[in-house]
């Protein structure tokens, strides 16, 4: 997969999640913590807004790195994206075991897929 296309996809996934977190933060908090109410719910919502800001930063970096032309630099960026998305996927998978939070299947699939595509795209660069 061409580098610019891969980085566009890598920017789209965080963008989708940040829009969802801003649009319906209560849904995501209550999915993880069904008994949250009052101050706990407000703190969870605040954290979703903060996560949205961080996801926007990631989406911007990924999108704006699409125009890098040197193959060595592209490989470094794809390695960073692959490691970053792999770690995020591992954290999502570990949450049910470590924290007793239900597994978030769509983010797990999305981050795992982007990690795999990043590793694969990196291997195809010459």
User: What is the domain partition of the chain in residue ranges?
Assistant: 3-124
CB 21 within 8 Å of CB 28? yes
105-124 vs 71-99: helix crossing angle, rounded to 10: 160
Express each pLDDT in 88-102 by its tens digit.
Answer: 999 999 999 998 888
DSSP symbol at 102 = P
pLDDT of residue 56: 95
Distance of alpha carbon 113 from alpha carbon 82, whole angstroms? 10
pTM: 0.81
- Helix or strand or coil: residue 33? coil
Q: How many CB atoms lie within 10 A of CB 17?
A: 21
Give the pLDDT confidence of 21-49 residue by residue, as tens digits. 999 999 999 998 999 999 999 999 999 99
């Amino acid at each position: 997969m061409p580098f610019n296309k891969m980085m566009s996809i890598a920017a789209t996934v965080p963008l989708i999640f940040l829009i969802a977190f801003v649009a319906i933060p209560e849904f995501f908090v209550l999915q993880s913590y069904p008994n949250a109410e009052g101050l706990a719910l407000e703190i969870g919502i605040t954290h979703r807004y903060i996560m949205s800001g961080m996801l926007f930063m990631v989406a911007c970096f990924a999108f704006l790195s699409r125009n890098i032309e040197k193959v060595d630099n592209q490989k470094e960026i794809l390695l960073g994206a692959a490691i970053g998305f792999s770690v995020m996927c591992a954290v999502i998978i570990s949450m049910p075991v470590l924290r007793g939070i239900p597994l978030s299947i769509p983010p797990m699939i999305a981050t795992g897929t982007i990690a795999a595509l990043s590793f694969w795209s990196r291997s195809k660069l010459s």
